[in-house]
Amino acid sequence: MASLFNALPGAAAQGLIWGIMAIGVYLTYRILDIADLTVDGSFCTGGAVCVMLMLGGQNVWVAMLGAILAGMVTGLATGFFHTFMGIPAILAGILTQLGLYSVNLKIMGKANQAINVDKFDLLVSLRYIKNVSFFKNTIFIVTVMILVLILILYWFFGTELGCSLRATGSNDKMARAQGINTDFARVLGLMLSNGLVALAGALLGQYQGFADVNMGRGAIVIGLAAVIIGEAIFGKIFHNFGFRLLGVALGSIIYYLVLQLVIWLGIDRDLLKLLSALVVAFFLGIPTWKARYMKSGLGSILGKGKGR
């Protein structure tokens, strides 16, 4: 039991970092109605760029800004494939993700690059969880970052430009009829999303003390899990857009706490990704099941519905 409680603060910190990533996934998945698989690559791009810039002597803030910009470029690439070349969004994301594997290797020069917390002035680290001053605590710092990001996004999606992104995701035919350049909106949304995802990658790279070419594998699933958990638990209470984003971040924390619990219960770690995939698949299936078996399904069983 003690080992579980010892592990919880670290799990919460990781959950917060992945929460930023999940907010990025929320922007594409929920607002633009695109399942963007770029994130599996751009997450690592963020970590790689941040670590390499710091190893090159840059300040941590500059390094994280560089990571965000690099992430936005990956979103631009996917947006280009999707809009200019007419490739379906999901495939466009897969193409970018695959290409980024090489790019990430080239950025780092090898499969992983370590950054030592004792030699570099990192913003977050697994060493800054316990026995560290409150304001230097990773949990505190990432919490503040998430709140600031939510405030910025809340403002942005209330602007004319932000509303045009929401309209594009809600009904792109209507958006075009109202003079909105839906291609531009999609590209901008993908850039914003992947910028956030890369920032999360930059934070995780610092936190674990290295960037690794496989660090983003399955990121989209974790992001979706966080979005789904957040909506399932807080969807009924949080209606305001800002609170919904907060719900997603909380969903990510819950995901990591549960993960920690499952590990503590002694599950084979090799099975974790399979488990995550199944859980996410289950939750993604719920709307379909509801539609099929709750209304028309029940109706047709009772002989009253239209049936299929």
Partner 1 sequence: MLEAKNIVKTFNMGTVNEKRALKGVSLTLQDGDFVTVIGGNGAGKSTFLNAIAGVWPVDDGQILIDGKNITKLPEHKRAAFLGRVFQDPMTGTAASMGIEENLALAFRRGARRTLKTGITNSERTLYKDTLSRLGLGLQSRMTSKVGLLSGGQRQALTLLMATLKQPKLLLLDEHTAALDPKTARKVLELTQEIVNNQHLTALMVTHNMKDAIQIGNRLVMMHEGQIIYDVAGEEKKSLRVEDLLHKFEEASGEEFANDRMMLAK
290: number of CA atoms within 13 Å, CB side? Answer: 6
Nearest-approach distance from CB 180 to partner 1, in angstroms: 6
Name the residue type at position 285: G
Residue 162 lies near partner 1 (rule: CB under 8 A): yes
Of 167, 257, 258, 272, the one binding partner 1 by CB under 8 A: 167
Residue 161 lies near partner 1 (rule: CB under 8 A): yes
Residue 171 lies near partner 1 (rule: CB under 8 A): yes
Cβ-based nearer residue to partner 1, 199 or 244 = 244
Nearest-approach distance from CB 210 to partner 1, in angstroms: 38
Of 52, 180, 196, 197, the one binding partner 1 by CB under 8 A: 180
Nearest-approach distance from CB 161 to partner 1, in angstroms: 5
Site string for partner 1, 121-160 (x = CB under 8 A): -----------------------------------x-xxx
Nearest-approach distance from CB 234 to partner 1, in angstroms: 18
Cα–Cα distance for residue pair 15/11, rounded to 1 Å: 6
Cβ-based nearer residue to partner 1, 157 or 283 = 157
Residue 179 lies near partner 1 (rule: CB under 8 A): yes
Q: What is the CA radius of gyration of the chain?
A: 20
Residue labelled with tokens 């719900």: 247
Q: DSSP string spanning 11-55?
A: HHHHHHHHHHHHHHHHIIIIIS----TTHHHHHHHHHHHHHHHHH
Residue 175 lies near partner 1 (rule: CB under 8 A): yes
Cα–Cα distance for residue pair 20/149, rounded to 1 Å: 8
CA 268 to chain centroid, in Å, comes to: 25
How many C-beta atoms lie closer than 10 Å to residue 88's C-beta?
Answer: 11
Cα–Cα distance for residue pair 153/243, rounded to 1 Å: 11
Structural tokens at position 144? 């503040």
Of 58, 112, 143, 181, the one binding partner 1 by CB under 8 A: 181
Chain residues binding partner 1 by CB under 8 A are 156, 158-164, 166-167, 169-171, 173-182
